[in-house]
Structure 1
Amino acid sequence: MTSPYLLVLYYSRHGATAEMAKHIARGIEMGGMQARLRTVPAVSTECEAIAPSIPAEGAVFATLDDLKNCAGLALGSPTRFGNMAAPMKYFLDGTSSLWMTGELVDKPAAVFTSTSSLHGGQESTLLSMQLPLLHHGMLVLGIPYSESALVQTRGGGTPYGASHHADVDGKRPLDTHEIDLCRALGRRLAGMAKKLG
């Protein structure tokens, strides 16, 4: 039997969300649990997967078994008009079999996002990503204001989940507060998974 893990599932187009995922995974490991990084393939306008079956670099593509067998989930996507990106929505739309069997009920979950503008819909994206998790019966966690970086940040960071302001070209690196909040979210997710496990 494999040891319990927390799934860090994300989609990243220009690398900012992938970078956040790595810091959340680090926070999970700091919290004493194993993190499993997975991504989803891009989709075309015809809603067909357009990526190869195995990515050339980065995390491998997620399967429903990755989701079914996780002890908890951190879900990340860049913001697209105040909502999650289509590839993540496409993947989540394919999880009905897990919903019907209640596989994710009472597992902890958290969300994270990256935007090109500071007021580009971070909070609405985080809230929209929580909706399918709530339908699955997951226990959604945010970031409490006891995390000092949440009050001090001048970039991303919300009580709804970790966020990052990547700038218009997507090249602005995560600042110290954004990194701290990603790691804090990972630690909190690990702590809750341990309590529930």
Structure 2
Amino acid sequence: MKTILILYYSRHGSVSQMAQYIARGVESVPASEACLRSVPEISEVCEAVADTVPDSGAPYVTLDDLKTCDALALGSPGRFGNMAAPLKYFLEKTSSLWLSGTLMGKPAGVFTSTSSLHGGQESTLLSMMLPLLHHGMIISGLPYTEADLISTQSGGTPYGPSHVSGSDSARPLTDEEKRLCTALGKRLATLAHKL
């Protein structure tokens, strides 16, 4: 059984919805399971974080989740063309995994949601790839054999799935966005088995 960790931060729910579709893609591959995890909010005034157990949604990630996964999908809303602070804060605490090479050679992909079409989706995806490259992970995007990359009028990039949530963060995922999320999950699970 291959475990694909889907680690994300979601403020208004869009990235969480994307994670669910990625999980569907993972579980469409035989002998593959999706493990959904999130990160807590961080304080603006100190290093205090939220309670150790979330009120709802996916459990919070631990370093052990990263150690034991066979592949990783990393998701965040876009914040000025970058990943959100809570996700970056967690990634900055992974030095022990970097020193031991724990993530080296594991496949990884990234996904994001922004409120506008030109809200920095691709730069956000690229910003999430950087720490994964430092960990020696094998980055996978979405190939243009995914026809939705050509036809989408909303989210979707070769760097990874994306979603345009609207200024009120209430726009649902389009059919193309859902399929691209599912495709990333399936791709990561397939790569985990091949590697």
TM-score by length of 1: 0.97
* Matched residue, 2:16: 18
Which AA in structure 2 matches 1:13? R
Aligned-pair distance for 1:52? Answer: 1.3
Write the mapping of 1:16-165 to structure 2, written as runs, cut at 5 A.
16-32=14-30, 33-165=32-164
* Matched residue, 1:9: 7
Which AA in structure 1 matches 2:57? G
Deviations 1:19-77 (A, max 9, x none): 00000011000122100000000111135243211001110000000001100000000
Question: Which secondary structure does the structure 2 equivalent of 1:50 belong to?
Answer: coil
Which AA in structure 1 matches 2:147? S
Q: Structure 1 CA distance, aligned partners of 2:11 and 2:142? A: 25
Question: Which secondary structure does the structure 2 equivalent of 1:9 belong to?
Answer: strand
Which AA in structure 1 matches 2:27? E
CA contact (8 A) 2:97 2:103 kept: yes
Q: Structure 1 CA distance, aligned partners of 2:48 and 2:169? A: 24
CA contact (8 A) 1:143 1:160 kept: yes
Which AA in structure 2 matches 1:25? A
Deviations 1:96-118 (A, max 9, x none): 00000000000000000000011
Q: Structure 2 CA distance, aligned partners of 1:134 and 1:53? A: 28
Matched-pair identity in %: 62
Question: Which secondary structure does the structure 1 equivalent of 2:72 belong to?
Answer: strand
Question: Which secondary structure does the structure 1 equivalent of 2:49 belong to?
Answer: coil
CA contact (8 A) 1:42 1:49 kept: no
Aligned-pair distance for 1:147? Answer: 0.3
How many pairs were matched up?
194
Residues 7-16 or 40-49, more deviating: 40-49
Which AA in structure 2 matches 1:22? Q
* Matched residue, 2:187: 188
Q: Structure 2 CA distance, aligned partners of 1:110 and 1:86? A: 19
* Matched residue, 1:172: 171
1:157 to 1:47, Cα distance in 2 relative to 1, 3 A: farther
1:99 to 1:47, Cα distance in 2 relative to 1, 3 A: farther
CA RMSD across the alignment: 0.8
